[in-house]
Amino acid sequence: MKKIFLAAAVMAATSLWARVSLDQKIGQMLMIGFHGTSAPQNSQICKDIGKYHIGAVILFDYNPVDKSKAKNIASKQQLSRLTAELQKCSYDRKLLIAVDQEGGKVQRLKSRYGFYGHFPKASEVKYLHQKQIKKTYVKMAKELKSVGINFDLAPVVDLDINPKNHVIHGLGRSFGKNPKKVAAYAGTFIDAMHQYGVLTSLKHFPGHGSSMGDTHKGFVDVTHLWKRSELEPYRLLNKKADTVMVAHVFNKRLDPKYPASLSEKTVDGLLRKQLGFHGVVITDDMQMGAISKKYSLKQRLKLAVNAGDDMLIFGNQLDPRHTVSSAILVETVKSLVENGEIRERRIDNAYRRIQKLKNKL
């Protein structure tokens, strides 16, 4: 009886996927940033979500075009309205609506918009009692949920092993040097988010704590500073993690040719096959200088999808002169599939994993 039920379920899922166009499968793989504090039906982002089945959006408070105006987040009431509008644009009402909310310097829901805004950074959290840590992250999850955010691009599981690293160490974004303790704190964070139905992402694989540079700005080589212990939190949390975010760091010891986010050896080989993570893999922002200065948009898309990345972030945040439309992204990936430069099974595998992730909501 159980086998018959399973066979029927597989047939139903296969039939459902067969009705989904290639454009829409590709759309599910995109996390898009946009300008606007509302998303009415005639807005470009709403049209794109509806037409291409865009899988996720990423929200920011800082507006790089006009500092006097909010990009997406201005107040509690406004944000609740925006997320509700965005969900209405979505075909399945399971649009992933993401923010970077770690605590410390990295928290998009600030007090000046009416939010709590004083969540401690990771380097301070580790000095709190376990009950306080849980209470802190439950409060954060509750606040995210209250305004319709269902995806937090956190926690950071980078190890604090380079005191000269200003991106992780300098901003206090790491829970410490000990991988077991880092995994334990991150596990508490994830449990708290799950209590309120908020998905999470471990970052930045395969480790950004040893780096000297900033991938936002340019090429970052961690070959000689990186330690294998940086992989340990991912191994310890591979069953608990919803998603893993891959960094754009270059490590010759892992792949002599490509940075992590564009490397099949790193994503499909190391993260999936060696460390046993089978959930959704997300890239860091695909517009970061570390890869955008070296690879064209077409090259980035081709390499990222073939590497095994399931979801690609285009925040349209870092350089207002170089924003990219959903249509261009979908059409470019589609042409790469049709030309045989991207294996279609990569799209199907990503689509399957993303649907499984969204079913957790």
Selected catalytic residue, list 158, 160, 242, 284 = 284
CA–CA distance, 235 with 306 (Å, rounded to integer): 23
Residue ranges making up the domain that contains 115: 25-358
Instruction: Record the tokens describing residue 275, joined without a space.
Output: 């460390």
Q: Are 263 and 290 in contact (CB under 8 A)?
A: no
| 9 part of a folded domain | no
Residue 231 located in a structural domain: yes
Q: If you ran DSSP here, which 8-state letter would residue 111 be given?
A: G
> What is the band of 236 on the pLDDT scale with cuts at 50, 70, 90?
very high
Place of tokens 């380097």: 123
Q: Is residue 201 part of a domain?
A: yes
Q: How far is CA 77 from the centre of its chain?
A: 25
Q: How far apart are CA 216 and CA 34, in angstroms?
A: 18
Q: What's the whole-model pTM score?
A: 0.94
284 is catalytic: yes
The mean pLDDT value for 143-170 works out to 96
Which of the residues 191, 214, 216, 348 is marked catalytic? 216
Distance CA 338, CA 244 (A): 28
C-alpha to C-alpha distance for 140 and 119, rounded to whole angstroms: 8
For 287-291, what is the mean pLDDT?
93
Length of the chain: 361
Does residue 260 fall inside a structural domain? yes
Please give the average per-residue pLDDT across 199-225, as a whole number: 86
pLDDT at 6 over 50: no
How many domains would you assign to the chain? 1
The runs of H, that is alpha helices, within 90-211 are: 122-125, 130-146, 179-195
- Residue 1 belongs to some domain of the structure: no
3 lies in a domain?
no
Type of residue numbered 210: S
142 found inside a domain? yes
Least confident segment among 216-220, 272-276, 294-298, 346-350: 216-220
Residue 53 belongs to domain with CATH number:
3.20.20.300
Residue 92 tokens read as 């399945």
C-alpha 281 chain-centroid distance: 8
pLDDT at 319: 86
The pLDDT-based confidence of 1 (bands split at 50, 70, 90) is low
Confirm whether 84 is domain-assigned: yes
